[in-house]
Structure 1
Amino acid sequence: MKAVQIYGYSKKLEAHINDVPIPRINKHQVLIKTNVAGVDPHLLLAITGKVRIFDQYDFPLTLGNELSGVIESVGEAVTDFKKGDRVYALMPLDTMGAFAEYVVADANIVVKMPKHLTFEEGAAIPLSALTVVQAFDVLNVKPGAKLFIPGGTGGFGQIAIPFARSKKLFVAVSGSESSRHLALSIGADQFIDYQKQNYVEVLKDFDYVIDTRGVSEFRKELRILKPGGKLLSLNAVPNARFAIQHGGFSTMQRLLFGAIGMPFDIAAHLQRKSYDFLYVQPNGKQLKNITQWIDEAGIKPTIDSTFAFTQVNEAIAKIAKGTAQGKILMTIQEGETIT
């Protein structure tokens, strides 16, 4: 079968399509024939090695975090799936593997897709949906509170905005003017054109900020929070609380996280606010629960662009630009037949 791989970390955003054996499943796993895979910013961290603070990869590494496809076979202990089921999943970020014609996954991270979604729409769901659920859990969101998502018009925002509205939150987002209609159409209460407006001068007394931009926006985001407000970053730096809550890290990693996160913790504490970091993890139960909401609400993500399997490097270049309005996807070509 074909798989998209890298041979090591590199500043050059380039991957290769290789022939690799079709993986075998154990009794608790399923084999998925991949239809479509999502292309997300985490790939940039994986390729360049910036993710090494969390994960140490073995090479060659098959890239890809999320996918939609059809169950090809199931392990003898698997009872929730059968051959032919339409499914999607977020792969573990420390192993990845979604950019392949066939993917092995633990059955407990795989979920049946809502019937109203195409494979393209389904592949746009798992990473964003699980990030939303896990972010809201960390923030412990309350109805009536105010949430700001800078740059909230991409794949994450398209799930986060309607989900936040379903939890009765006031939602403000920022983005380019071309994203205004999309943001408002999916439920945003307020839109900030970052090219014309400084959100620090427009927004105040917010309860939560979910940061998608990273370190450069930290102090500005902190300023718009009211005392007691919470800033959760998806793209800045981990801290000691993150290491404690998630566990599984070495002593060296825990010390490192505490050290690099300390300036952020102190800055937040001095303003009577809090700082947290999230590194999303696969979770079948959480994905199944939000899938039910997606199904009932009829949520359909907006697709920015779809690339062929052979265009993987063009897809990676597109995500690196950071200008997508919606999800970037890659179709997976037909592979060899399993006999």
Structure 2
Amino acid sequence: MKAVILKSQGGTEQLMMADLPIPHPGNGEVLIKVHAIGINATDVYARRDSRLDYIFNGESPKILGWDISGEIVEIGADTAHFKVGDAVFGLLNFPTYTTPGHAKGYAEYVVASINDIALKPANISYEEAAAVPMAALTVWQPLNKFRIKPGDRVFITAAGGGVGHFAVQLAKYFGAYVIALASGAKREFVLGLGADEFIDYQTTNFLDILSPVDYVIEGLRDEHIAKSMQALKDGATLLSLWDHIVGSKWADLAVQRNINAFYNNVVSNGQDMKALARLLEEQKLVPHISKRFGLDEIPLAHSAIESNHTTGKVIIKVL
């Protein structure tokens, strides 16, 4: 099979096409013929940062990729209700900050645990399905820990990006009044997702016009967290999608401001994927794909993500 391996951490030139044996599923696993792959900012960080080498668990070759959709072509023992021919999608074997997660998704075939996947809704394509798992779970999982209440005013930064465009839709699903922050070029796109108000960060300081909100979904990093905290009501909630809060200066600031600020590490979870599948079936969640590449164009897909100007998701079309 064709696969894209990572020779070593570094630039996109470290990504190289290779011919590898097709793997076989073990107990509780299935073999998936990959139709599409989702590319995320996490892929870029793992490619560049040698501190993240632990995620490969010392295995060789190193193969990035966690978001996939495809068709089951072989099953191992104890695979529950999954069968050959099923169309599935999921976030496979995603690492934590202390444990590896070498899913090997940049390939024509991939082995997946049945605990990480769900049946693909019939009303979406394989490409759309591959765009969903990591980005949507990044919002879905924490919002199920600290729920948005109907009528809450929710401020979402980076609202036009891969995670942000799902955040807008999920906040609306929970009944929020959504104020979205993005570049002016994404105005119509973000409002089309259901946002009630739009703020162009290129022309407007949101603190000059935004009255206090109940919840912030913070899609930006570092000092922007402190700025977003200023937009919150006393006792409100801030979800940081990228930066840890516990043990950081943001935690101290949150205590001073009486704000519940938290970060949530996304995890692979087939039950959560089933919940997202239901939302996709009901068209309450609609993935937007801005760029498509072939398997041999993964370096270009990484460069697109690194530009920080994509709208929605970047995917790889394998079949």
Scaled by the length of structure 1, the TM-score of the pair is 0.87
Is residue 150–residue 173 contact of structure 1 (8 Å, CA) maintained in 2? yes
Shift of 1:54: 8.4
Q: Which amino acid in structure 2 is aligned with residue 63 of structure 1? A: L
Is residue 12–residue 299 contact of structure 2 (8 Å, CA) maintained in 1? no
The aligned residue for residue 328 of structure 1 is 314
The aligned residue for residue 273 of structure 1 is 259
The aligned residue for residue 88 of structure 2 is 87
Shift of 1:198: 1.0
Query: Is 2:211 aligned against 1:204?
Result: yes
Residues 1:23 and 1:53: Cα distance change in structure 2 (over 3 Å): closer
Find 1:143's aligned residue among 139, 150, 158. 150
The aligned residue for residue 303 of structure 1 is 289
The aligned residue for residue 106 of structure 2 is 99
The aligned residue for residue 303 of structure 2 is 317
Counterparts of 1:266 and 1:54 in 2: how far apart (Å)?
A: 30
Q: Which amino acid in structure 2 is aligned with residue 80 of structure 1? A: H
Counterparts of 1:209 and 1:298 in 2: how far apart (Å)?
A: 21
The aligned residue for residue 155 of structure 1 is 162
Shift of 1:222: 0.7
Counterparts of 1:222 and 1:141 in 2: how far apart (Å)?
A: 17
Q: Which amino acid in structure 2 is aligned with residue 60 of structure 1? A: P
Gaps of 5+ in 2: 96-101
Q: Deviations over 1:167-225 (max 9, x none)?
A: 11111111111111111111001111111111122223211111111113111111101
Counterparts of 1:92 and 1:105 in 2: how far apart (Å)?
A: 8
Shift of 1:324: 0.7
Is residue 46–residue 53 contact of structure 2 (8 Å, CA) maintained in 1? no
Q: Which amino acid in structure 2 is aligned with residue 61 of structure 1? A: K
Query: Is 2:215 aligned against 1:214?
Result: no
Is residue 159–residue 180 contact of structure 2 (8 Å, CA) maintained in 1? yes
Counterparts of 2:53 and 2:65 in 1: how far apart (Å)?
A: 19
Percent identical among aligned pairs is 30
The aligned residue for residue 98 of structure 2 is none
The aligned residue for residue 74 of structure 2 is 73
The aligned residue for residue 232 of structure 2 is 225
Query: Is 2:10 aligned against 1:10?
Result: yes
Counterparts of 1:28 and 1:76 in 2: how far apart (Å)?
A: 6
Query: Is 2:71 aligned against 1:64?
Result: no
Is residue 65–residue 96 contact of structure 1 (8 Å, CA) maintained in 2? yes
Shift of 1:45: 1.3
Is residue 87–residue 110 contact of structure 1 (8 Å, CA) maintained in 2? yes
Gaps of 5+ in 1: 240-257, 334-339
Question: Mean alpha-carbon deviation: is it higher for 53-62 or for 70-79?
Answer: 53-62
Is residue 68–residue 89 contact of structure 2 (8 Å, CA) maintained in 1? yes
Is residue 13–residue 47 contact of structure 1 (8 Å, CA) maintained in 2? no
Query: Is 2:6 aligned against 1:20?
Result: no
User: 1 or 2, which has the higher helix percentage?
Assistant: 1
Is residue 238–residue 278 contact of structure 1 (8 Å, CA) maintained in 2? no
Q: Which amino acid in structure 2 is aligned with residue 97 of structure 1? A: K
The aligned residue for residue 46 of structure 2 is 46
Q: What root-mean-square deviation, in Å, do the aligned CA atoms of Structure 1 and Structure 2 show? A: 1.9
